[in-house]
Amino acid sequence: MTETILVTGGAGFIGSHTVLELLEAGHKVLVLDNYSNSHPKSLEVVKELTGQAFPIYEGDVRDRDLLRQIFSQHNVTGVIHFAGFKAVGESVQQPLVYYDNNVVGLLRLLDVMEEVGCKNLIFSSSATVYGHPHKLPIREDFPLSVTNPYGRTKLMSEEILRDLYAKDQTWNLVILRYFNPIGAHPSGRLGEYPQGVPTNLVPYITQVASGCRDHVRVFGDDYDTLDGTGVRDYIHIVDLSQGHVAAMKKWLPGSGLSLYNLGTGKGYSVLEMIQGLSQAVGHEIPYKIYKRRPGDIASCYADPSKAQQELGWTAQMTLEDMCRHAWNWQCLNPKGFQD
């Protein structure tokens, strides 16, 4: 029996980078993933980059028997729970699928963790729970509101964790609210390959830059921002992943329920992102202005000072790093892990 961190959804974009950072920090890891939105190759790459092997379970986090089997075979110190669906538009089309995977998945996991007495968890939440923030930068104690089923699965999950902690203070629960993770591992071997048309800005821009798509669609240039386009807090995936390693500090007994923004504290507009990627690529990237999309907000960026003070974590990478690494990944893996 070895002491190990279970990473659910460990083959995905954030999960695979976090598994790599955990291994590099000297932790033992095991992964549970059903590959519903990822490819087993990501974990092969992690093994190659770190030179370390780790157990992988192919299966569903809602599978109680499989969870019991995993916990009986390993001395699991804590769980980092990434497994879930994340596409806002899809969640509007398929709300039940989203509630089942994201909310039931968490419930099933907590149930088995409680049964086996493993009470350390890090949960992936999202800045989407802040809805339309009344001021900026966004602090963890701001009011919460959500506008779509995906956001509601995150808010419900947070509330489930709060209720659980209210009942039993022996849990150590860390909720991390991510802003906009982008970029790729500096090796160019690990990154994000969205299935179908990318719903996130940066993969869309890199696909336009490589000629897979015509032009970038910029939704709205009349917001109250520097250049009129929407502003977001983009955070390098390696910084974000390291935030999880730092958050494990809050698994010490008596840490209780903690909540942190993981962002840089700096916002960039859509046009600044296109500009940054144009520099990384070495040529202009075509774009067209479209009407605002309903529900989009002008600006969203974090106050990351709580994570800095309590976890000793702060984002290190620059916009230039994010763009260079995103482009490097796109060039080396035009079809993601299918190549």
Ligand X SMILES: NC(=O)c1ccc[n+]([C@@H]2O[C@H](COP(=O)([O-])OP(=O)(O)OC[C@H]3O[C@@H](n4cnc5c(N)ncnc54)[C@H](O)[C@@H]3O)[C@@H](O)[C@H]2O)c1
Residues annotated as catalytic (active site), given as ranges? 150
Nearer to ligand X, 37 or 314 (CB): 37
Nearer to ligand X, 17 or 27 (CB): 17
The residues of the shown chain that bind ligand X, judged by CB under 6 A, are 8-9, 11-15, 32-38, 60-62, 82-84, 86, 101, 105, 124, 126, 178, 181
CB of 150 to ligand X, least distance (A): 7
SS3 of 65, please?
helix
Nearer to ligand X, 84 or 198 (CB): 84
* Cα 99 to Cα 105: distance, rounded to the nearest angstrom: 9
**How far is C-alpha 293 from the chain's CA centre?**
23
270-281 and 201-209 helices cross at what angle (nearest 10)? 40
Nearer to ligand X, 12 or 230 (CB): 12
Nearer to ligand X, 56 or 218 (CB): 56
* Cα 144 to Cα 76: distance, rounded to the nearest angstrom: 32
CB of 43 to ligand X, least distance (A): 9
* Residue 125, Cβ density class (10 Å: 0-12 exposed, 13-18 middle, ≥19 buried): buried
CB of 8 to ligand X, least distance (A): 6
Residue of minimal CB distance from ligand X? 12
H-assigned helices in 25-94: 41-50, 64-73, 88-93
SS3 of 317, please?
coil
Structure tokens that stand for 290 in this block: 């479209």
Amino acid letter, residue 230: G
CB of 292 to ligand X, least distance (A): 21
**Complete DSSP assignment for 141-161:** TS-----SHHHHHHHHHHHHH
CB of 143 to ligand X, least distance (A): 19
